[in-house]
Amino acid sequence: MVRESWGTRIGFIFAAVGSAVGLGNLWRFPWMTAENGGSAFLVVYLAIVLIVGVPGLLAEFVIGRRSKRNPAGALRRLAGGSDSWGLVGLLGVFTALVLLSFYSVVGGWILRYVGASATGAYFGNPGTYFGSVDFGVEAAAFHVGFLALTALVVAGGVRSGIEKATKVMTPVIVVLLVALAGWAVSQPGAGAGLSFYLDFDPSYLESHPVSVLQAAAGQALFTLSLGVGTMITYASYLGEDNSLAFDGSVIALLNTGVGFLAGLVVFPLLFALQGGLSETTAGGGPGALFVGVAGAFNQIPFGRVLAVAFFGVVLLAALSSSISMLEIPVAYLVDEHDVPRRAATLGLGGLVLVTGTICALNPGLFTTVSGPVVDTLLTAGLAGFLVFTGWVLGKDALAEYGTGSGALARSLGVPWLWSVRTVLPLFLVWTLALSFL
Ligand code: PHE
């Protein structure tokens, strides 16, 4: 069977941006920023995206396009059939399933909130409402709904499923977010939120350098979908005429822009309408979006309409990311075990139905998986991909990087390769070690 590929160059960019832009930007980023001192976190995070994120993205692209395979097949094949490298790739396939198990539960919450915004169900008391729906049988049911939507797109295939869907979803997300941000910053009292977010204040960073660094690194990988093999898989459907460096920069820039915009929506809302960061918003992860922001909508005219628009955007963003998670194990079964795409999607969907339901019923497990487990798996995964690119592919990586790219990008090839070989994996291993201490 002929392997699938993207129909257009822009199709790949939309799909990859769709993967990157997700709950990481809209739910995790404002929460992390709030918890880690605001503006100073923003600066550290931006630096890590640029210094670690972009080169990491390119390493995954190089592995994917060179091998035209899923992560497990890619590493084994490019390492001349090495089963140990195959296992490193297989770790990515496993991580994708772990990620999707908790992500789909949050996706289910959002699905529910689109409806609840229309009826105003949580308007009376957002905190109590969220507390009554976050975990349990109903949460599991909504998770299954979200997962079914994800599987529907993946079952359609690369071109007529993923590409078609994300080509519409991604621009809609960006346009709606810009509109929402314009509205949010013009709210009376938004200034306090903006200055918390944007006025650089190094004092928190100075007193908590290690924890800010770690949180910023974890967030940078999560938001760029790195360390799982998503970008390996998406780049495996690419042709030789795309410039990896150009596409990677566009993807990182758009993703960062959207994360930044999300902050422009969330912080003014929290400060203008909620009077600042309450315990729920600064403490628990889900709080900022589902209690803080949701609570703001009941105090404004046209609150229901705006709330539906807001959670609608979040839903689209979450879906275009969950699609990219499910695609990894699906590609693995299709490539390595000749399973037809639909059967693979159905089988893996069934598996995540069960693992996600377990998360939806166990708040403790959910929190551990969505926090430290995911951080560790992503960091270890990306370190593995970098070492592989730098030391196993070496010169071939440089050649693949250069294919289709312009003079400027090519001149950056050698420094890129050396950073992938040395400082970047060391940095990741160091943050990993810190998290265990
Ligand atoms: N980047 C996605 C987000 O921000 C999450 C993701 C991580 C998707 C890893 C795929 C792989 O929501």
Percent of the chain at pLDDT > 90 equals: 66
pLDDT of residue 385: 98
Q: Is residue 153 part of a domain?
A: yes
Q: Per the domain annotation, does 376 fall within a domain?
A: yes
* Whether the CB of 321 sits within 6 Å of ligand 1: yes
pTM: 0.94
- The residue among 49, 18, 81, 62 whose CA lies nearest residue 385 is 62
For the chain, the distance separating the N- and C-terminal CA atoms, rounded to the nearest angstrom, is 49
Q: What tens digit of pLDDT does each residue of 305-351 get?
A: 989 998 999 999 999 999 999 999 999 999 999 999 999 999 999 99
- 18-27, 101-110, 164-173, 273-282: least confident range: 273-282
Query: Cα(269) to centroid of ligand 1, in Å?
Result: 25
Is residue 249 assigned to a domain? yes
Within 13 A of 273's CA, how many CA atoms are on the CB side? 23
Q: Is 233 in the pocket of ligand 1 (CB under 6 A)?
A: no
Rounded mean pLDDT of 358-382? 92
Q: Indicate if the pLDDT at residue 281 is higher than 60.
A: no
Residue 279: predicted pLDDT: 45
Statement: residue 302 has pLDDT above 90:
no
Helices 244-274 and 395-402 pack at an angle, to 10 degrees, of: 80
Q: Is the residue at 1 inside a domain?
A: no
Pocket test for ligand 1, best of 19, 26, 316 (most atoms within 8 A of CB): 19
Confidence band for 285, pLDDT divided at 50, 70 and 90: low
CB atoms within 10 A of CB 436: 7
Rounded CA-CA distance 56/246 in Å is: 14
Which has the closest alpha carbon to 433: 217, 280, 288, 285? 217
Q: Tell me, what's the pLDDT at 273?
A: 65
User: Is pLDDT of 402 > 60?
Assistant: yes
Residue 58 placed within a domain? yes
Q: Whose CA is nearest to atom 7 of ligand 1?
A: 225
- Say if ligand 1 is within 6 A of residue 150 CB: no
Q: Residue 3 falls within a domain, yes or no?
A: no
Within a domain: 2 = no
Greater pLDDT, 141 or 212 = 141
Q: How far is CA 83 from CA 75, 92, 382, 383, in A?
A: 9, 14, 18, 18
Which atom of ligand 1 lies at the shortest distance from residue 21's CA? 4
Residue 283 pLDDT: 40
320 lines ligand 1 (CB under 6 A): no
Q: Is residue 225 within 6 Å of ligand 1 at its C-beta?
A: yes
Instruction: Indicate the number of domains in the chain.
Output: 1
Across the range 366-372, mean pLDDT stands at 87
**Alpha carbon of 145 to ligand 1 centroid (Å):** 19
Q: Is residue 406 exposed (0-12), middle (13-18) or buried (19+ Cβ within 10 Å)?
A: exposed
| pLDDT confidence bin for 410, thresholds 50/70/90 | very high
Q: Is residue 333 part of a domain?
A: yes
Whether the predicted pLDDT of 292 surpasses 90: no
Distance CA 69, CA 233 (A): 7
The domain that holds 16 is classified in CATH as 1.10.4160.10
pLDDT surpassing 80 at residue 303: yes
- The residue segments making up the domain with residue 168 are 9-436
Phi and psi angles of residue 199, each rounded to the nearest 5 degrees, phi first: -75, 120
pLDDT at 278: 56
* Tokens (6 digits) for 106: 């949050």
Taking residues 269-276, what's their average pLDDT? Answer: 70
CA of 20 to the centre of ligand 1 (A): 5
- Give residues with Cβ within 8 angstroms of 256, minimum separation 6: 46, 49
pLDDT tens per residue across span 179-193: 889 988 988 888 888
What's residue 138's pLDDT?
97
Q: What is the pLDDT of residues 139-193, one digit of tens each?
A: 999 999 999 999 999 999 999 999 999 999 989 988 988 988 998 898 888 888 8
Q: Does the beta carbon of 53 lie inside 6 Å of ligand 1?
A: no
Distance 96 CA to ligand 1 centre (A): 10
Q: Give the residue-averaged pLDDT of 39-64.
A: 95
Q: What pLDDT does 284 receive? A: 45
pLDDT of residue 377: 94
Mean confidence (pLDDT) of the chain: 91
